[in-house]
């Protein structure tokens, strides 16, 4: 995706220099708020670690006689968390001493920092600012998949203590159905109240949470036709207190409507190169998403593919993540290319050679689909490389019956530009047989852009070009279209809100397009006013909210 160029360039500054970018009215006086900060109790009191993988050890320690050990494995990064009472609108400094490979220290929704590999203890530190109504903060430590045990000691959160908010919001009232289709139900309700403030609403289908929103309406998708469903809603506040359930409402979906046919894929981007990448199984369990677009496959020199141009195709964190996704019943589509980096398209000298590079990745993982993210002057605006990529995809399709091929490229607000139109025209001329043409409707250059209206307009422009080029009717053209957005704040300071993305998802379902993605799951956390960051969206939202919405894409 095109945003990676700026985010990667700023990654070090964001990760290690957060404090320098914050200007807030509140200041923090020094007082360590972390319970059992040095683990000297010889227990995990105050801490909660995933998978039972945390323990207290006597060696190695930074000071005192005890330290934390997190046994990160192939499917769990041994994340240990503690929730601390804080004051609103105040700056805090989080620090700790860590040892091991790829150890992360952070605060949920407020950034993180990490170290690559240390044989001895080294200190990590970052600052963050609480929200206007925030009364608690979750701090965390974690290792990385397959990197072995990490150690942590002397964790400190400096700042004024807060009063723990234990009062739950009132229950939402007046829940009603305001619309339905054969595959969705639209609900609305009256807002709940809270002593500090309501931050979101959880929608339940029977006993299962299916969505979280910040407003007082929601559309639940992925339902079966002519079927009765029962829904309730619960309110939550910043401290994690959850209300009693609202009144229940029953909705019977309409009859008919198959939701489209053929290839359908809801696959948000997951990038293991930065941004404290989450454990895929955690995201899948929380949202119901099954597919991820894994970025990026680049050249490690010449026509040789590697993850990010650096990590071997197999045997590393990428393979471990893919194994975890498949173990949880999901799958991945790798993305080749992106905005920057040493790409395979310009480095492989012929379509056959490029097809061979693609084939290495297909064979390594037994893939069902591949995505070629064609961007920038070296690929998208280079006619020779465009044709080389299309020729390679033609060869790959011939050699791998059933494999789906996706091309992803930028767009204007009214549809593909001249390079995009050329790509579509040449795909027909060369017989490339592309399954999905995915546009990236963001970075239009105007911070005030209406992202829902512009996405629809851009997609309709793509549909018109596909109809003109291939002679397709509307349903066939839509069935060859994908949308890949950007959650929250974009490079150009455009804002795709939770409601925007819900509306885009619903539009995509109603027009039965083939694919819905966004950049990226790494950023699928709230940090209102945070701007462009690699670990959060820059807007107010619940964890994994864009992923949950995307999981409701059925085509």
Point out the catalytic residue in the list 375, 379, 494, 534.
375
User: Whole-angstrom Cα distance, residue 519 to residue 17?
Assistant: 23
SS (H, E, C) 512-535: CCCEEEEECHHHCCCCCCCCCCCC
User: Whole-angstrom Cα distance, residue 5 to residue 249?
Assistant: 47
Q: Do the Cβ atoms of 549 and 540 come closer than 8 Å?
A: no
User: Whole-angstrom Cα distance, residue 249 to residue 229?
Assistant: 8
Residue ranges in 17-157 assigned as alpha helix (H)? none
φ and ψ of 456, to 5 deg: -65, -45
User: Whole-angstrom Cα distance, residue 22 to residue 539?
Assistant: 16
User: Whole-angstrom Cα distance, residue 240 to residue 194?
Assistant: 12
Q: 112-129 and 173-180: which strand pairing?
A: unpaired
Let me know if 494 is a catalytic residue: no
Q: Do the Cβ atoms of 178 and 217 come closer than 8 Å?
A: yes
φ and ψ of 344, to 5 deg: -75, -35
- Location of structure tokens 């203590």: 161
User: Whole-angstrom Cα distance, residue 507 to residue 499?
Assistant: 12
Burial of 163 from C-beta contacts in 10 A (0-12 / 13-18 / 19+): exposed
Active-site annotation, residues: 375
């Amino acid at each position: 995706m095109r945003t990676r160029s700026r985010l990667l360039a700023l990654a070090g500054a964001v990760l290690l220099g957060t404090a320098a970018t914050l200007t807030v009215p509140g200041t923090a006086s020094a007082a360590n708020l972390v319970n059992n900060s040095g683990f000297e109790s010889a227990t995990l009191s105050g801490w909660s670690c995933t998978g039972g993988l945390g323990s207290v050890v006597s060696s190695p320690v930074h000071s005192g006689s005890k330290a934390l050990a997190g046994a990160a494995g192939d499917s769990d990064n041994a994340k240990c968390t503690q929730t601390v009472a804080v004051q609103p609108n105040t700056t805090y400094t989080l620090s700790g001493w860590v040892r091991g490979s790829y150890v992360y220290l952070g605060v949920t929704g407020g950034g993180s920092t990490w170290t690559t590999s240390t044989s001895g203890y080294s200190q990590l530190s970052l600052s963050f600012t609480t929200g206007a109504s925030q009364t608690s903060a979750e701090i965390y430590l974690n290792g990385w998949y397959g990197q072995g045990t990490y150690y942590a000691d002397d964790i400190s959160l400096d700042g004024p203590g807060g009063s723990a908010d234990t009062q739950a919001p009132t229950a939402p009232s007046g829940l009603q159905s305001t619309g339905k289709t054969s595959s969705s139900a639209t609900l609305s309700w009256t807002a709940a109240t809270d002593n500090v403030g309501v931050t979101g609403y959880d929608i339940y289908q029977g006993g299962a949470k299916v969505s979280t929103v910040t407003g007082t309406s929601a559309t639940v998708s992925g339902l079966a036709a002519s079927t009765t469903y029962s829904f309730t809603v619960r309110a939550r506040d910043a401290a994690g207190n959850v209300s009693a359930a609202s009144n229940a409402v029953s909705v019977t979906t309409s009859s008919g409507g198959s939701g489209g046919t053929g290839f359908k894929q809801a696959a948000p981007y997951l990038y293991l190169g930065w941004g404290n990448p989450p454990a895929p199984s955690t995201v899948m369990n929380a949202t119901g998403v099954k597919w991820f677009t894994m970025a990026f496959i680049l050249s490690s020199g010449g026509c040789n593919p590697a993850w990010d141009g650096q990590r071997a195709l197999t045997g590393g964190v990428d393979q471990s993540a893919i194994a975890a996704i498949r173990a949880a019943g999901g799958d991945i589509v790798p993305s080749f290319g992106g905005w920057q980096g040493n790409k395979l398209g310009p480095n492989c000298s012929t379509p056959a050679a490029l097809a061979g590079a693609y084939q290495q990745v297909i064979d390594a993982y037994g893939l069902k689909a591949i995505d070629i993210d064609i961007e920038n002057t070296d690929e998208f605006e280079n006619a020779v490389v465009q044709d080389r990529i299309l020729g390679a995809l033609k060869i790959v399709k011939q050699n791998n019956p059933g494999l789906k091929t996706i091309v992803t490229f930028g767009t204007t607000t009214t549809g593909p530009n001249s390079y995009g139109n050329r790509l579509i025209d040449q795909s027909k001329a060369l017989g490339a047989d592309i399954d999905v043409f995915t546009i990236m409707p963001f970075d239009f250059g105007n911070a005030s852009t209406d992202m829902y209206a512009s996405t629809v307009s851009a997609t309709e422009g793509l549909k018109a070009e596909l109809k003109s080029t291939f002679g397709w009717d509307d349903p066939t053209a839509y069935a060859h279209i994908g949308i890949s957005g950007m959650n929250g704040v974009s490079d150009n300071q455009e804002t795709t809100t939770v409601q925007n993305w819900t509306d885009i998802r619903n539009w995509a379902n109603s027009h039965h397009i083939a694919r819905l993605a966004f950049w990226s799951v790494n950023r699928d956390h709230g940090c209102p006013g945070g701007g462009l960051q690699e670990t959060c969206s820059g807007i107010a939202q619940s964890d994994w909210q864009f992923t949950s919405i995307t999981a409701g894409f059925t085509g």
